[in-house]
Structure 1
Amino acid sequence: MLKKTVLATLLASSLITLTAHAQTGAEQSFKSDLGTVTATTVAQGLDHPWALAFLPGSQGILVTERPGNLRWVSPQGKVSAPLSGVPQVWANGQGGLLDVVLSPDFVKDRMVYLSFAEGGKDGKAGTAVGRGRLSADLSKLNDFEVIFRQEPKLSTGNHFGSRLVFDRDGYLFIVLGENNQRATAQDLDKLQGKVVRIYPDGRIPDDNPFVGQTNVKPEIWSYGHRNQQGAALNPWTGTLWTHEHGPKGGDEINLIERGKNYGWPLATHGIDYSSAPIPEAKGKEVEGTVGPHHVWQKSPGISGMTFYDGDRFKPWQHNLFIGALADKDLIRLQLEGDKVVHEERLLGGLNARIRDVRQSPDGYVYVLTDEDNGALYRIGLQ
């Protein structure tokens, strides 16, 4: 690994300093049940930022912008020019460059994984996932390759998902939207509305639940999902938690189990945007499907999710943080085991759509705001 002084020189050479991207360091305070929450501006001027990933050793943060750019944010809050080597994305509607995660062996292999909307031949699109090797000077991804494609491509601009999570055994989970094609979430010959489990290179594990079945996609781990916008591995149990948007009402958290059906569109707590019932729905609970672990009858528009297991802010331990797009807030859920026992809203005063939420290695919570002039904030507790 490069020594810190050499690395600093290389990083500085890759930067462009833009007034819109300058760190302001401004701090805002909000009262909470546990004290005073602080929100410090780390960087501004981001174009609809979607996801962030912390580089090891205080080397900064990678941030995706939905129009198609991957940027590096320095520890001082300076934002780089777009990295080269990033795939072309289908930047329409909700589509574009989406999630970013590092390989579990990043220190050795420097692999960065991206999910993104990929266009097809008929003008429709689907979610794809690929990986590339981050250069030492943090200016490009080398040898980017696509390892997964959502098939068929059915989206005209909606419900791509998607989040990426590695589990303790190194499998990669991809949580996907149903492209606003409701019935496909129940179709096992399609990858819409699914949680997918693959190896880091895209191979399909032999012990996936539907391997070997006729006309069934072997990548599928669970199904019956709508538009999944958050996913995180519970650090205490190793269980994958995801959350998804309901239609009008019915945003929900799910604890993902192998081979299970999570109900959409047969089971839902929501209604159509027209206020009519969902045509396929048979009720809030349907036999043979798994009900939500936690549900909001009025949709906050949830996005991004992180468990807090840090030592810096002990009152936040065993809490779950989730962004809210429609409600423009940060949701704190207090847990006892897996049970949600208390909910609090923390950042309504920012008046900004919270797109992603991550815990930093040093125990802060970072959030991204989904705006034309999007910002990266560091969240703490006093």
Structure 2
Amino acid sequence: MSPFAINRLAGCVLLLGITACGIEEVEGFERLYHRHCAVCHGGDLQGAAQGTPLVGIDLGYGDGIDNIARSIAAGMPDRGMPSWSETLSETEIRSVAIFISEERANTTFGDFRIETPLVVPTDAVRTSLHDFRLELVADGLDPLPYAIAPLPDGRILLTEKMRGLTVVSAAGEQSELVPGAPVGHGGAVQFGPLQYGNGWVLDVTLHPDYADNRWIYLSYGDRCEDCAAQSRRGPASMTKLVRGRLRDGTWTDQETVFEVDKAFYNSATDMATGGRICFDGAGHVFLSLGMKAGQRPVQRLDQPDGKIHRMRDDGRVPEDNPFVDQPDAFPTIWTLGHRSPHGLEFNPQTGELWSTEMGPRGGDEINRLIPGGNYGWPLTSKGVHYNGRPVDGRGLGVDFDPDDLEPPVVDLTPSVAVSSFVFYDGDAFPGWHHHALVGSLKGSDLVRFVFEDGQEVERETLIEDLARIRDIETGPGGVIYLLLEHASGGQIVRMTPEAEEAGA
């Protein structure tokens, strides 16, 4: 077995909070295709004597996962393609459809895109509403940074998961770790080109009234040893939210905004926790806390993970939280049923909270968050588990009504590893006001979405195949900053209007 395969299998131990995985299960998708489909459509999906290609063309019955699955199930008798509904199970048909869709979108499972050459385009990027250029702000960062927060003076706060908080100057120079701030922990397990561990430093953002109060909010995996049952077998962690101030380059005045009892700490990786922070402009702060202790706690109100939490900006519990009066429930819970919520933003135009969420194999989501809403994990998903099994809570012994679950506004299947996003409200690109700019890791794209009445009405890819976009933020003057992951070193780039447009 190759070192890469060994590392992947070792990584699966850490991925228990996500789902079971392994080389054999992952290959099942390809095996199904090659056993039943390759003779007609080619091993490389380029077609064969008996059948048409499946890549590089528009499919006659639609390109979506559901369209492909229906075509496989029903067949195309007029074209000589048999029905597969009696040969393959519904799950197997969907697995083949996901594999075909992944190949069509060039988002091959297992290709994390972190070693794909990173080339920032030098020419202007043309889009339907605005043309722009990408400018390098800083490079040589840790390969796996997590968040940025542009400051009013042109500097940028930066978190790197296994290091901590630094400040990037307006000239692109990175400081040493900020003294006094929480620090990240290494010792992660290698999973292919990526690393997974716990005790990571996560999101950083400014209070809406930062100009007056100077509060900076920071989330991280608070790590301990010998503090809980699981920590006796190794370090354990759980997401914690604090706020502090920068004074003379030092982190000071730290206060805890959200933390849980050490009994809830566990040794699983922080990879799915999210830890994203946002504000609603009415004195509340929200924190995303994804699945960390396996699947079952996600639907339990007496467990903190798999939830979006809502607090007053000083950590007090709002009296109007949906479960505040329910015995044994975490009073900070705003929504539940979240797998891996890596984006969290408040839309000031509509007064709604939204999130982006990574699914398993398929099933990435963009969600509009309704107070008390249940977003379905691990009861259901548009994707399937990495081993090909359906996502079905009945297998966990959970009785539920699908009508009680909130469906995603946008289903992103095949999975692009959807990451951070913003609702744009700056001045540099007025045509994008209130549009969602959404990044992805494996997809490596920046996509603009327009929503009306909670429904998607427009979608445009602004940047294609750039790099793993971990975070997106709006800076002074409406300039957009992107935080990129790459094996050779992370980068910060900014999007500025094309000169002719800016002067128009």
- TM-score with structure 1 length normalisation? 0.86
Partner of 1:221: 334
Name the CA distance, whole Å, in 1 between partners of 2:215 and 2:129: 38
Name the CA distance, whole Å, in 2 between partners of 1:275 and 1:36: 42
CA contact (8 A) 1:87 1:144 kept: no
Matches within 5 A, 1:1-382: 27-34=122-129, 36-47=131-142, 48-56=144-152, 58-91=153-186, 92=188, 93=196, 95=198, 96-120=200-224, 121=227, 122=231, 123-135=235-247, 137=248, 139-150=249-260, 152-157=264-269, 158-179=271-292, 181-280=294-393, 286-336=402-452, 338-350=454-466, 352-372=467-487, 373-382=489-498
1:149 maps to a residue whose letter is E
Q: For 1:362, what is the secondary structure of its paired residue?
A: helix
Name the CA distance, whole Å, in 2 between partners of 1:281 and 1:175: 26
1:147 maps to a residue whose letter is V
Name the CA distance, whole Å, in 1 between partners of 2:250 and 2:405: 44
1:41 maps to a residue whose letter is L
CA contact (8 A) 2:146 2:159 kept: yes
Name the CA distance, whole Å, in 2 between partners of 1:335 and 1:361: 25
Percent identity, please: 37
- Residue 130 of structure 1: CA displacement? 0.9
CA contact (8 A) 2:257 2:314 kept: yes
- Residue 231 of structure 1: CA displacement? 0.9
Q: For 2:256, what is the secondary structure of its paired residue?
A: strand
- Residue 67 of structure 1: CA displacement? 1.2
Q: For 2:377, what is the secondary structure of its paired residue?
A: coil
- Residue 294 of structure 1: CA displacement? 1.3
- Residue 223 of structure 1: CA displacement? 0.6
Change (3 A) 1:258 1:323: same
2:360 maps to a residue whose letter is P
Name the CA distance, whole Å, in 2 between partners of 1:380 and 1:107: 24
Gaps spanning 5+ residues in structure 2: where? 1-119, 189-195, 499-504
**Between Structure 1 and Structure 2, how many residues are aligned?**
354
The answer to which of 232-241 and 176-185 deviates more is 176-185
Encode CA deviations 1:155-176: one digit per residue, 9 max, x unaligned: 5113111210111211111111
Q: For 1:311, what is the secondary structure of its paired residue?
A: coil
Change (3 A) 1:348 1:338: same
- Residue 129 of structure 1: CA displacement? 0.8
Encode CA deviations 1:48-73: one digit per residue, 9 max, x unaligned: 221111222x3421111111321112
Name the CA distance, whole Å, in 2 between partners of 1:118 and 1:338: 35
The answer to which of 327-336 and 253-262 deviates more is 327-336
* Root mean square deviation, CA, Å: 2.3
Name the CA distance, whole Å, in 1 between partners of 2:216 and 2:130: 37
CA contact (8 A) 1:332 1:346 kept: yes
Structure label with greater radius of gyration: 2
- Residue 150 of structure 1: CA displacement? 4.5
Encode CA deviations 1:218-249: one digit per residue, 9 max, x unaligned: 11111111110001111211211111111111
Change (3 A) 1:227 1:111: same
CA contact (8 A) 1:222 1:260 kept: yes
CA contact (8 A) 2:164 2:182 kept: no
Change (3 A) 1:344 1:369: same
Encode CA deviations 1:30-89: one digit per residue, 9 max, x unaligned: 443445442110111111221111222x34211111113211122222222221111133
Name the CA distance, whole Å, in 1 between partners of 2:425 and 2:201: 28
Partner of 2:14: none
2:372 maps to a residue whose letter is G
Change (3 A) 1:237 1:155: farther
More strand by share: 1
Q: For 2:403, what is the secondary structure of its paired residue?
A: coil
Name the CA distance, whole Å, in 2 between partners of 1:364 and 1:88: 29
Q: For 1:32, what is the secondary structure of its paired residue?
A: coil
CA contact (8 A) 1:27 1:41 kept: no
2:461 maps to a residue whose letter is R
- TM-score with structure 2 length normalisation? 0.66
CA contact (8 A) 1:369 1:375 kept: yes
Q: For 2:476, what is the secondary structure of its paired residue?
A: coil
CA contact (8 A) 2:130 2:429 kept: no
CA contact (8 A) 2:158 2:167 kept: yes
